Amino acid sequence: MNPESMGAQLDDRFRDRAEAGRLLAAALSSYAHRDDVVVLALPRGGVPVAFEIAQILGAPLDVFLVRKLGVPGHEELAMGALALGGIRVLNQEVVRQLGISQADIEHATERERRELARRDEAYRQGRPPPQVGSKTLILVDDGLATGSTMRAAVVGLRQGQPRRIVVAVPVGPRRTCDDLRDVADEVVCLRTPVLFQAIGLWYEDFSQVTDEEVRSLLDRARAAREA
């Protein structure tokens, strides 16, 4: 793709995660004000997106914890993902092509398992996870790259026997969005650029989301439901 075409695509960027969430909520309007709907965010970046969706749809907001398993020495590249409850999804193509050993996989898994436990305590502060049985779950992140973390989340949530799982993201490669239809009941992806490169390129403001922001948004969502 030439630079002019890339520039034209980037004119379609989101202002920030909040704007992306409001646009996604419009695409999910058929799920508004339903008793069976729960919005689940993948922390941390998915939480500001999901907060807007939950507010507009009138649905409860919670988090579902999942961590990328990074390739040793190149942690930004996913070789798989780990979801709360011990669900692990590996990208066998990446593992095979890079010759990643089982020992390296187990080491990364243990490291991310500890981080999942830390975040579970930090975000829930003793509160139980949401009941997902017979619910329609809208699973939200701020974007997809390989889709490993989202796939692990869907597989993990299936164990709770929800009625339906809807994956909702602002942006992702078309192939990744299409591949997730193998495990999710519905995939809503607002932007599927031909030349994707990185999630952050599709936001004017892609500043890091902190643990404190996650807790604050979850608290605000609960307060709004209780008001």
What residue spans define the domains of the chain? 3-65+131-226
Structure tokens at 24: 């996604």
Architecture of domain 3-65+131-226: 3-Layer(aba) Sandwich (3.40)
Task: Output the CA torsion sign for 130, 127, 59, 139.
Answer: negative
Q: Tens-of-pLDDT digits for all 227 residues of the chain?
A: 444 444 445 568 999 999 999 999 999 999 999 999 999 999 999 999 999 999 999 999 999 998 889 899 888 788 888 887 778 888 888 899 999 999 999 999 999 999 988 888 888 877 888 889 999 999 999 999 988 889 989 988 998 899 999 999 999 999 999 999 999 999 999 999 988 989 999 999 999 999 999 999 999 999 988 87
Structure tokens at 84: 């709360």
Q: What is the pLDDT of residue 186?
A: 98
Phi-psi region of 99 (alpha: psi -120 to 50; beta: other; left: phi over 0): left
Q: What is the pLDDT of residue 6?
A: 44
